[in-house]
C-alpha cells in the first residue's frame, strides 16, 4: 500500500531540482570556499551570490546578512545563546514556540533571565498583551511567525511596531526575533516591512536538503557569534561552509518562487477543501482564518494517537503536532493548550500539513477515510 504523506510541516521530500543542485555542487565546488588559492574563489563567489539571492527573496535590508547554518535549531540557538553572557534582563516570548526556542529559553532562565509570556486568543498570540509585559528591563521580544502546531500566522508587524514605539521611551534597544520556518515560501515575507533583528529558516521544510538553514541578522556589526572557528561566514559562524547544501536550499527557493501564484492557489484550494470537509465531518477546526494554507489542525472524536493509527492503517501519514516534539511525550498537547484550546481538544488534535506535491485527490481521499473511522 502506498502511503499519502500529510506531515510536511515535519519535513518535506527533497525536490528533483534541489537534489540535482546538491549533486552538481558536490562535484563542481568541492574545494573549501574559505581556501586562499585561486581555484577555490569560485566556490566562495557562489556562496556570496546565494546569500544575496536569499536576501532578495526575503526583501532584506542591504546592510543585513544571512548566515548559513545547519538548520533552524542552530539559527535560533545562535541568536539566543549570546544573551547568556550578558547581564540578565527580561525576555517576552510566546508559549507556542518550537522546542528549539523553548529549550533555549529554559537555558537562559538558568542564567538568570526572566521570561514573561504573551497571552493567546483564538489560537494565536494576543499581541495586545505585550502592553502589560513590556518594561524597562525588556531586552528581547520573540514570537514564532507561522505556528507549526495550527498554522496560524502571528501579527509580527504589529508586535514589532508596539515594541519600537515603546523603545523610543527607553535608552536601550530591544531585540526582536521571529522563527519563520513555517512561513518561508508559504506566505509572503518582506523583511524591509518588519523591523525585526533576527529570524530563523530551514531548508528541509521547503523541499530542500536536511541539515541546512539560515539565520537572518539585521545588524551583523553588533552580533556576537556563539559558534566560532575558522572565521567563516564573516566570523559569524565557524565551520566549513556547506556549499552543496546551500546551493540545493536556494534551488528549492527558486523553484518555489518561479511558480508562486499557481502553487499558492493550489494550496488554498486544498486547504479550503480540507477545512470545509472537516467541518462537514463534525471535526472541530483548531486553525483560524489568518493562517497558512499549508497547515490545518482539528480535533476529532478519538485521542490523537488512535486517529493517527487508524488513518495510518488506511494509508495516511498525519501527525498529532510537531514531529520534533513527538520525542517528548505530551508536548504537542501542551502547545495546543497554550494556544488556548481545551485539554479535550488538545488530546484529540491532529495536524495535516501539505506540500506542493500534495494533490486535491489526496485531500479528498483523506476526508473520505476520516469519515469512515
Site residues, ligand PLP (CB under 6 A): 71-73, 98, 100, 144, 148, 179, 181-182, 202, 213, 322, 324
Residue nearest to ligand PLP (CB): 71
* 356 contacts 267 by C-beta, under 8 angstroms: yes
Give the SS3 label for residue 121: strand
- What b-and-e string marks burial along 197-206, b requiring 16 or more CB atoms within 10 Å of the CB? bbbbbbbbbb
Closer by beta carbon to ligand PLP, 266 or else 324: 324
E strand residue ranges, 28-85: 65-69
Residue among 177, 107, 96, 188 at smallest CA distance from 138 = 177
What is the grid cell recorded at 280? 462537514
What is the grid cell recorded at 81? 545563546
Residue among 191, 192, 215, 178 at smallest CA distance from 71 = 215
Closer by beta carbon to ligand PLP, 71 or else 245: 71
Closer by beta carbon to ligand PLP, 261 or else 327: 327
Work out how close the CB of 361 gets to ligand PLP at its nearest, in angstroms, rounded to a whole number.
Answer: 27
What is the grid cell recorded at 26? 558536490
Residue among 355, 297, 338 at smallest CA distance from 9 = 355
Closer by beta carbon to ligand PLP, 179 or else 345: 179
* Residue owning grid cell 509585559: 133
d(CA 188, CA 153): 11
d(CA 291, CA 282): 20
Work out how close the CB of 24 gets to ligand PLP at its nearest, in angstroms, rounded to a whole number.
Answer: 23
* Residue owning grid cell 546578512: 65
Closer by beta carbon to ligand PLP, 54 or else 181: 181
Work out how close the CB of 331 gets to ligand PLP at its nearest, in angstroms, rounded to a whole number.
Answer: 12
Closer by beta carbon to ligand PLP, 134 or else 148: 148
Distance of CA 196 to CAs 159, 227, 230, 308, Å?
10, 22, 28, 38
Work out how close the CB of 27 gets to ligand PLP at its nearest, in angstroms, rounded to a whole number.
Answer: 25
Work out how close the CB of 172 gets to ligand PLP at its nearest, in angstroms, rounded to a whole number.
Answer: 28
Work out how close the CB of 251 gets to ligand PLP at its nearest, in angstroms, rounded to a whole number.
Answer: 17
What is the grid cell recorded at 229? 572557528
Closer by beta carbon to ligand PLP, 179 or else 197: 179
Residue among 106, 81, 101, 82 at smallest CA distance from 145 = 101
Work out how close the CB of 165 gets to ligand PLP at its nearest, in angstroms, rounded to a whole number.
Answer: 27
d(CA 98, CA 179): 8
Work out how close the CB of 249 gets to ligand PLP at its nearest, in angstroms, rounded to a whole number.
Answer: 11
* Residue owning grid cell 502511503: 3
Closer by beta carbon to ligand PLP, 213 or else 340: 213
- Alpha-helix runs per DSSP H in 61-179: 72-80, 99-110, 156-167
Closer by beta carbon to ligand PLP, 43 or else 353: 353
Work out how close the CB of 151 gets to ligand PLP at its nearest, in angstroms, rounded to a whole number.
Answer: 11
Amino acid at each position: 500500500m502506498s502511503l499519502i504523506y500529510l506531515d510536511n510541516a515535519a519535513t518535506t521530500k527533497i525536490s528533483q531540482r534541489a537534489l540535482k543542485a546538491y549533486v552538481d555542487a558536490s562535484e563542481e565546488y568541492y574545494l573549501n570556499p574559505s581556501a586562499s588559492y585561486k581555484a577555490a574563489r569560485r566556490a566562495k563567489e557562489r556562496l556570496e551570490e546565494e546569500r544575496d539571492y536569499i536576501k532578495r527573496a526575503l526583501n532584506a535590508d542591504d546592510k543585513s546578512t544571512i548566515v548559513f547554518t545547519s538548520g533552524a535549531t542552530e539559527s535560533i540557538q545562535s541568536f539566543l545563546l549570546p544573551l547568556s553572557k550578558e547581564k540578565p534582563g527580561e525576555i517576552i516570548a510566546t508559549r507556542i514556540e518550537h522546542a528549539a526556542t523553548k529549550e533555549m529559553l529554559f537555558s537562559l532562565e538558568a542564567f538568570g533571565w526572566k521570561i514573561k509570556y504573551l497571552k493567546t486568543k483564538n489560537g494565536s498570540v494576543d499581541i495586545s498583551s505585550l502592553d502589560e509585559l513590556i518594561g524597562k528591563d525588556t531586552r528581547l521580544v520573540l514570537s514564532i511567525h507561522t505556528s507549526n502546531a495550527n498554522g496560524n500566522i502571528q501579527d509580527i508587524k504589529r508586535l514589532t511596531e508596539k515594541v519600537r514605539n515603546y523603545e523610543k521611551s527607553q535608552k536601550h534597544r530591544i531585540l526582536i526575533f521571529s522563527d519563520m520556518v513555517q512561513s518561508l515560501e508559504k506566505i509572503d515575507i518582506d523583511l524591509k516591512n518588519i523591523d525585526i533583528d533576527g529570524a530563523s529558516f530551514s531548508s528541509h521544510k521547503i523541499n530542500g536538503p536536511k541539515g541546512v538553514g539560515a539565520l537572518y541578522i539585521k545588524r551583523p556589526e553588533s552580533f556576537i557569534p556563539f559558534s566560532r572557528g575558522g572565521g567563516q561566514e564573516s566570523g559569524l559562524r565557524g565551520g566549513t561552509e556547506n556549499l552543496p547544501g546551500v546551493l540545493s536550499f536556494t534551488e528549492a527557493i527558486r523553484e518555489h518562487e518561479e511558480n508562486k501564484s499557481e502553487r499558492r492557489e493550489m494550496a488554498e484550494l486544498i486547504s479550503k477543501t480540507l477545512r470545509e470537509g472537516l467541518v462537514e465531518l463534525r471535526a472541530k477546526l483548531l486553525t483560524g482564518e489568518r493562517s497558512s494554507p499549508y497547515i490545518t489542525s482539528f480535533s476529532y472524536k478519538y485521542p490523537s494517537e488512535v486517529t493517527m493509527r487508524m488513518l495510518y492503517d488506511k494509508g495516511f501519514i498525519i501527525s498529532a503536532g510537531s514531529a520534533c516534539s513527538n520525542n517528548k511525550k505530551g508536548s504537542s498537547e501542551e502547545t495546543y493548550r497554550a494556544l488556548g484550546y481545551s485539554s479535550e481538544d488538545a488530546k484529540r488534535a491532529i495536524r495535516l500539513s501539505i506540500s506542493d506535491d500534495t494533490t486535491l485527490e489526496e485531500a479528498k481521499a483523506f476526508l473520505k477515510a476520516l469519515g469512515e473511522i
